[in-house]
Structure 1
Amino acid sequence: MDEEVLRDVVTLLHPDPDVEGFPDPERAAVLLAQARQRRKDAETEMRAAGLDVAGTEPVLVALADRREVIAEAKDQMHMLIAYSRGPAPSPGRHTLDELAEHSGLSPTSVRRFAGDDRATAGVRDVLARHHGGGDPEVDAMRAIVQASAQDRQDVMTAVLEGLPAPARTRVRGWASDRFGAGSR
């Protein structure tokens, strides 16, 4: 591995902030120290990821890593939009226009994400796991998934009975997408 290339890559990913003329010299020193630490940490992570093996290219590894970061950020935006338009309590709910403006997405994209029942179910699942409580809609989906193919229709009928109409519709649609038209 070329040490100069590795140093250049971590410098490009974590450059020193422009502190020239900064009004608070102590704050400027802190910002510079944070940038140096981020470069040191990034270099350590890249080495730990195998960049000290001959033949690895730091630029390509850094690009692949940035691609993963972008994909993760997109997934998180999708979940936040689904949360805001779905299970969020009223202070966390926002209009499609607000979400579009702050996410940088078109209103059409926001509407598509906000109406994605699978994303809303994913949000409910994450929150239920985090809060330790069960979400009836997610519990219904789990029961359907865990049922054998022969018992799936009976299990689905039983779990749907206990859900309110909007949740019942979402779970039916999800099951149809996942298991085929016969799941309705």
Structure 2
Amino acid sequence: MLYDYVERKRKENSGAQLHVTYLVSGSLIQNGHSCHKVAVVREDKLEAVKSKLAVTASIHVYSIQKAMLKDSGPLFNTDYDILKSNLQNCSKFSAIQCAAAVPRAPAESSSSSKKFEQSHLHMSSETQANNELTTNGHGPPASKQVSQQPKGIMGMFASKAAAKTQETN
């Protein structure tokens, strides 16, 4: 739709100053790995970005301006306030509702998070004192554990292997 508008305006008025910004996506190979890249690109840099892509998946007109933008930030920051307000009310149109759910006040949620952090720090210091050399929840290897007899089929093979080692000694 925007592409047709740009083409029509450029045909009608060849001197029309329209600055087009494109949304380009495609596959890019970096360090031997293929990744998908999506970029917002000005028209003058479109060919350079396309040449870097191994496969171009899509090129869409993202926006049209009469004046050249110094920064593309305003193009995708215009909806920031709307998105921020939707985060506060994200379940507004959800089919799943809970009438008993009541949002916490900001002060209440910050005090509960502080309590959690304090209890977590207290627990972690106790745990560290009890298990001095634990890493990722695993303690140091035991000096020697008594091996248990495997059950089932493995138990039958293990008993035969133990009998053979005793016979050879």
Question: Which has the larger share of helix?
Answer: 1
Larger Rg: 2
User: TM-score category by the smaller chain?
Assistant: under 0.3
TM-score, length-normalised on structure 2? 0.21
